[in-house]
Structure 1
Amino acid sequence: MSPKVVWLFVFVGLYWSYCIFWGIKGARMARTASDYFIAGRRLSLWVFVLAATATSFSGWTFMGHPGLVYRDGFQYAYASFYTITIPFTGTMFLKRQWMIGKRFGYVTPGEMFADYFQGEAIRFLTVIVALLYSIPYLGVQLGASGFLFNVLTDGLVGEQFGMWILSLVVLVYVASGGLRAVAYVDTAQCILLALGIVIVGIIALNAVGGWGALNDAMAALGKQPTLGKWKATPDGYNAYLAVPGVIQWTAGLGKETPVGGLWTGIMILTYMFALMGIQSAPAFSMWSFANTNPAPFAPQQVWGSAFMIGLILFFFTAFQGMAAHFLGAHPAVTEAGLAVGNVISDAVNKNPDSLVPYYFNLMADAAPWLIGFLAVCALAAMQSTGAAYMSTAGGILTRDLYKRYLNPTATHTTQKLFGRMGVAFIVISALLVATFSKDALVLLGGLAVAFGFQMWVPLVAICYVPWITRQGATWGLAVGLIAVIMTDSFGQTIGSMFGGLPFGRWPWTIHSAGWGILFNVIVCVVASMMTQNEHQLAHRMKFHSFLREHATLPANKKSLVPLAWGVTIAWFFFGIGPGCVIGNSIFGAPDAGRDGWTFGIPSIWAWQILFWILGVAMMWFLAYYMEMSTVPSKEVEALIEDVGDTSLEKPGV
């Protein structure tokens, strides 16, 4: 057994011990159903900051994101702006959801929506979104962990066997300790995720010869516009260093190939919509309910996500992705004489997801222990999001199905039992799909975050717009989910059974999340116009009157609301929307070379860094100054401890 494999098992053993410890401790502290499902609404500030950050940025950030930066270049690297857009969703909704959850004692978003809209259909749709999100998303993460250990153990641990064994530990600590155990394990996972990405980025930068050598290599690449996967953009620039335009009126992937790359300005924007679904998914509603107060929301959104993870992705992930071109991973670049080394296998060209493990193995001789540590960092990143969705989905199944319809008087002990059974169901379902139908897993996994984004409409309704009716929110959500399916790979597969669809995946380079929210909003508005009811509006206004009383801005800041709207719209348009094409050459044309680049780096990279800094400032302005994520000045009094908790058990039973 090689030294790196020995160290791998040592670090995995230590990591597993930490996970099991918190599983046992969480189980002992989970005296009531509320303790188990939402940590008794008592998560501490820094636990939430780290845990929510780990949950937001999964193993895909660690393993998949660098590979796609390699595959598509800086036009794809705009995806790193999810460090802004994911917490932006939290800024919009978490504080207000916490206030409503505290006031009315909700444990799951299904309970909240069903009570607010006075209907059960929205509850069922919320459960469906939770399952469609958690099972494929978890399956992708668990499958990736098995692949990683297969590669790093040189085949000693089989991919399927590794996936099941690694998943068993997650199942044990999540099912035992509930959301509290997940949160405390996530604190360590967040630190490991961040450290791992930074270390791998340093390895990549060192391998390519440093900052100057990397930029020299990219300057040479920019002078050869047809070199690469997407060849030249319509403007004649190398597609790795430029966005190919605002939009392309193609019939969609599979029908016509985009010219110069997929990542147009509108594609980047709508892809960011999809990733915004991470914090609008039902799981994050439960995360919001789990806090003592909203104090952790702003630091998590501004400093944990936007600043810290943004800094890591815009630099260290960029190092990993772009350096690989010049280290042997890209045959065409090597043949053109632009490579500075040959330490990364060109197999990465066919499977970009395998890039990060190759960086690990560069340290096999110099520091085999580091490979073991980095493997645990990757494993922690993969399990951080999966554990959270396992826990929350188990709670949703228990509260919104079992307790609501089968056993309304279920005791705390019974609820915890069925919550654990729900976690087991989610994990086993994800593993079975990952084991026996990887194609289905890939298809469904691509839909997960787009499904989560469709929850924006009912969240906007309950947090801001009382005019939206039950019928509008329900039918809008249902149609939005269907639109997501039909404009993504899964819909293409279904359509092929009936002779094919007239459009391909992501028509007009608009992501399925964009199509989904478009149809969602249209149907919601039309249905709401047709179903206005004074009695139902009066019921909804109870919630909005409460929010206006507790979440209204001070008089001296109300005049800044138009400015907040303007700043946000401008940032979205120029940072991650159609206006981002300006960044292609504003600081020097992609083929101008280092002397022609204002900051000595490609203009597109400088533009991204600039708007990352502006994005952090925007998030601070909204979360702190506009008080969208701060503790309300007026204390929120709970009207009921937990909706539906009729058990008379005493704590500790």
Structure 2
Amino acid sequence: MDAKVVWLFVFVALYWSYCIFWGIKGALSAKTASDYFVAGRQISLWVFILAATATSFSGWTFMGHPGLIYRDGFQYAYASFYAITIPFTGVLFLKRQWMLGKRFGFITPGEMLAYYFRSDLIRILVVLVALIFSVPYLGIQLRASGFLFNVLTDNMLSTNVGMWLLSTVVIIYVASGGLRAVAYVDSAQAILLGGGIVVIGLIAMHAVGGFANLNQGIAALSQIDPVTGKAMFGQTTPDGYSAYIAIPGVIQFGAGLGTDSAPIGGAWTGLMVLTYMFGLMGIQSAPAFSMWAFGNKSPEPFAPQQVWASSFVIGFILVFFTAIQGIGAHFLGADLEFMAKFPDLVNNVMGTGLGGLDIMQSEGKGDMLVPQLVYLMSETAPWLVGLLSVCALAAMQSTGSAYMSTAGGMLTRDLLKRFIIPNASHAQQKMYGRLGVILIVLAALVVASTSSDALVLLGGLAVAYGFQMWPALIAVCWWPYLTRQGITVGLIAGLIAVTLTESIGAQYMPWGRWPMTLHSAFWGILFNFSLALIISAMTQKQNEHEHRMIFHNFLRDHASLSPEKRGLIPVAWIATLTWFFFGIGPGAVIGNWVFGDPTNAETWTFGMPSIWAWQLLWWLLGVGMMWLLAYKMELSTIPHKEVVALHEDIGDIQLDIDKPG
């Protein structure tokens, strides 16, 4: 057996032992339903910081992100800013959800929204969003795990066998230990995920020959043919720049993926990047993250997780090391056309294994990029190949395990306990929660095993569906104006709009996927929030408003900004809107040229393409924005008044929510 395969099994065995240990420990400590579903509200500072970071950034970050940077260049690398936009959602909602969970004893977001709006229909819709999010998203992670095992064991295990084998271990520790086990395993997974990306980036940089060689290669990659005016190795933007180092404008009216009017110069316009970030903001507004909020001992870890762990550390890793992996692959033999024209700029260490990563003609080879970079260490450090393989495996399981646990909890609490067994004991709830985890994983495995193409289409819906929870969270955390009727109709409309503008539904529509280079999350929230506002204006009732004000009076009393800081509110609005406009929105087109002419490497101010320097600058400014919001604006700090719990578990109280008002 190959040395790297031996090391792979050694590190996998150690990793699995750690997972199962926490599964057993979590099972022994879970005495009540609250212990099992939200870790007894006792998740500690560092555990949440690491676990929430791991849950936010999945195996797609580790495996798929570099491949798309390889294919689309730095215009797609703006997606790395999801290291900031994902926790931005948390800044707005997590602290206030924690306070409500502690005050009223909520365990699931369905309980919170059903009590707030006095509506079981909203409870059911939340469970639906959780399931639609969890099953395909989990299926993608599990299938990717099986694919990785297939590649790294030299086809000893098929993708499906590897997927089912790996899933068994995940089921064992998640179903047995609940959210506490997930949190402690995710803590290790966060370190493995971040560390693995850094090491692979360093491997790529070393193979390329250093930063100077990397930028020399980028300059050649982005050359414009003086005869045709086209980029030699890719598309040209409407401004005549190589699509590898420029975004193709603010918006492209009439363009849609999968139609005859395909975007010119790439899909990643300024507004496409912005609305794509909307979709990824759905990760921390998805129902699972509400349960993460409820599970914390206090809000103390929210700010350091959002500002330092995610925005600063993961942000730097993605903007720098992931970009090096994706772009650097062109100069390591992955790009056969580039190697033929510039052999002196290529260190052909990947060409044999990849056979050319011409993704435009061979869809799916992008997933091979990271494994091939890991393979570069097969001869010199086979143990490192095994360790990095476990880093990738941990990255893939980090998100899936959290969604398994929380979705199982919602099935138990919001459906079974509410409608079927209202007097279910703690032991029964834990048992059904474990069965829920198993059913969700089996559903994900069946879909992943039988139709990987459909899985990819469904996966594209997941985060955009999660973003449709924003109006409901705005209502419960900030704005009592929004009514039960408005939120319900808006959420349903938003889910439909997302479906019709994503691959699975857009294939039957004339506008194609992402019409006008605007992500499906935008189209969903446009209909969602618009209808929520219109219908709320028509359905205002005094008695329902008074009920909602129970929440908002409590939040104002405990979480209002201190008087001496209220003058910072306009500053916070200006800083946030400016960052979204210039960092990841229409204003990002300035980054194409502000630090040098994209067609002339000699003008590059910092020795790198202007677009990359712009991304590094706005990453730093984004960290500053997050610090301002989380700390100075007190959106993620400990409340200035202690939160006193009215109920330990609101599910033990029979609530009459079927007759609003």
**TM-score (ref. length: structure 2):** 0.96
Q: Is the 8 A contact 2:149 2:162 kept in 1?
A: yes
Q: Is the 8 A contact 1:145 1:162 kept in 2?
A: yes
Matched with 1:332 is 337
Q: State the Cα distance separating 1:347 from its structure 2 match.
A: 4.1
Q: Is the 8 A contact 1:230 1:259 kept in 2?
A: no
Matched with 2:537 is 529
Read off the aligned partner of 1:348 and give its amino acid letter. Answer: L
The separation in 2 between residues aligned to 1:222 and 1:588, in whole angstroms, is: 14
Task: Give SS of 1:355's match.
Answer: helix
After superposition, residues 569-648 of structure 1 pair within 5 angstroms as 569-593=577-601, 595-645=602-652
The separation in 1 between residues aligned to 2:114 and 2:299, in whole angstroms, is: 23
Cα shift readout 1:540-576 (whole Å, capped 9, x = no counterpart) = 0110010000010111111111111111001000000
Q: Which of the numbers 426, 451, 460 marks the counterpart of 2:474?
A: 460
Cα shift readout 1:453-473 (whole Å, capped 9, x = no counterpart) = 000010001111100000011
Paired positions, count: 640
Read off the aligned partner of 2:347 and give its amino acid letter. Answer: G
Read off the aligned partner of 1:637 and give its amino acid letter. Answer: V
Do the aligned partners of residues 244 and 251 (structure 1) sit closer, same or farther apart at CA in structure 2, a change above 3 Å counting? closer
Task: Give SS of 1:403's match.
Answer: helix
After superposition, residues 92-241 of structure 1 pair within 5 angstroms as 92-224=92-224, 226-227=230-231, 230-241=234-245
The separation in 2 between residues aligned to 1:303 and 1:574, in whole angstroms, is: 22
- Are residues 1:348 and 2:357 paired? yes
Cα shift readout 1:131-151 (whole Å, capped 9, x = no counterpart) = 000000000000000001101
Matched with 1:498 is none
Matched with 1:389 is 403
Q: Is the 8 A contact 1:69 1:322 kept in 2?
A: yes
The separation in 2 between residues aligned to 1:224 and 1:346, in whole angstroms, is: 26
The separation in 1 between residues aligned to 2:542 and 2:608, in whole angstroms, is: 59
Task: Give SS of 1:447's match.
Answer: helix
Read off the aligned partner of 2:112 and give its amino acid letter. Answer: M
Read off the aligned partner of 1:264 and give its amino acid letter. Answer: T
State the identity as a percent: 65
Task: Give SS of 1:277's match.
Answer: helix
- Are residues 1:520 and 2:520 paired? no
Task: Give SS of 2:253's match.
Answer: coil
Do the aligned partners of residues 143 and 347 (structure 1) sit closer, same or farther apart at CA in structure 2, a change above 3 Å counting? farther
Q: Is the 8 A contact 1:119 1:470 kept in 2?
A: yes
Matched with 2:659 is none
Matched with 2:277 is 272
Which has the higher mean CA deviation after the structures are superposed, 326-335 or 285-294?
326-335
- Are residues 1:66 and 2:66 paired? yes
Matched with 2:434 is 420
Which has the higher mean CA deviation after the structures are superposed, 52-61 or 349-358?
349-358
Matched with 2:657 is none
Q: Which sections of structure 2, spanning at least 5 residues, go unmatched?
A: 655-661
Do the aligned partners of residues 230 and 518 (structure 1) sit closer, same or farther apart at CA in structure 2, a change above 3 Å counting? farther
The separation in 2 between residues aligned to 1:215 and 1:422, in whole angstroms, is: 51
Q: State the Cα distance separating 1:590 from its structure 2 match.
A: 1.1
- Are residues 1:320 and 2:325 paired? yes
Read off the aligned partner of 2:102 and give its amino acid letter. Answer: K
Read off the aligned partner of 1:422 and give its amino acid letter. Answer: G
After superposition, residues 24-43 of structure 1 pair within 5 angstroms as 24-43=24-43
The separation in 1 between residues aligned to 2:651 and 2:512, in whole angstroms, is: 46
The separation in 1 between residues aligned to 2:23 and 2:159, in whole angstroms, is: 26
Q: State the Cα distance separating 1:249 from its structure 2 match.
A: 1.0
Q: Is the 8 A contact 1:454 1:480 kept in 2?
A: yes
Q: Which of the numbers 238, 248, 253 marks the counterpart of 1:249?
A: 253
The separation in 2 between residues aligned to 1:137 and 1:274, in whole angstroms, is: 14
Task: Give SS of 1:114's match.
Answer: helix
**TM-score (ref. length: structure 1):** 0.97
Q: State the Cα distance separating 1:219 from its structure 2 match.
A: 1.5
Q: State the Cα distance separating 1:230 from its structure 2 match.
A: 4.4
Matched with 2:658 is none
Q: Is the 8 A contact 1:71 1:229 kept in 2?
A: no
Task: Give SS of 1:348's match.
Answer: coil
Q: Is the 8 A contact 1:228 1:239 kept in 2?
A: no
Q: Is the 8 A contact 2:288 2:406 kept in 1?
A: yes
Cα shift readout 1:360-383 (whole Å, capped 9, x = no counterpart) = 111110111111000000000000
Matched with 1:469 is 483
Q: Which of the numbers 556, 559, 572 marks the counterpart of 1:564?
A: 572
Read off the aligned partner of 2:281 and give its amino acid letter. Answer: M
Q: State the Cα distance separating 1:327 from its structure 2 match.
A: 1.2
The separation in 2 between residues aligned to 1:140 and 1:223, in whole angstroms, is: 36
- Are residues 1:504 and 2:508 paired? no
The separation in 2 between residues aligned to 1:646 and 1:418, in whole angstroms, is: 20
The separation in 2 between residues aligned to 1:31 and 1:234, in whole angstroms, is: 63
Q: State the Cα distance separating 1:229 from its structure 2 match.
A: 6.5
Read off the aligned partner of 1:101 and give its amino acid letter. Answer: G
Q: Is the 8 A contact 1:8 1:375 kept in 2?
A: yes
Matched with 1:291 is 296
Read off the aligned partner of 1:375 and give its amino acid letter. Answer: S
Q: Is the 8 A contact 2:231 2:241 kept in 1?
A: no
Q: State the Cα distance separating 1:228 from its structure 2 match.
A: 6.2
The separation in 2 between residues aligned to 1:619 and 1:522, in whole angstroms, is: 27
Q: State the Cα distance separating 1:646 from its structure 2 match.
A: 6.1
Matched with 1:651 is none
Q: State the Cα distance separating 1:326 from its structure 2 match.
A: 1.2
Task: Give SS of 1:446's match.
Answer: helix
Task: Give SS of 1:624's match.
Answer: helix
Matched with 1:540 is 548
Which has the higher mean CA deviation after the structures are superposed, 346-355 or 539-548?
346-355
Q: State the Cα distance separating 1:51 from its structure 2 match.
A: 0.2
Q: State the Cα distance separating 1:439 from its structure 2 match.
A: 1.5
Read off the aligned partner of 1:28 and give its amino acid letter. Answer: L
Q: State the Cα distance separating 1:526 from its structure 2 match.
A: 0.9
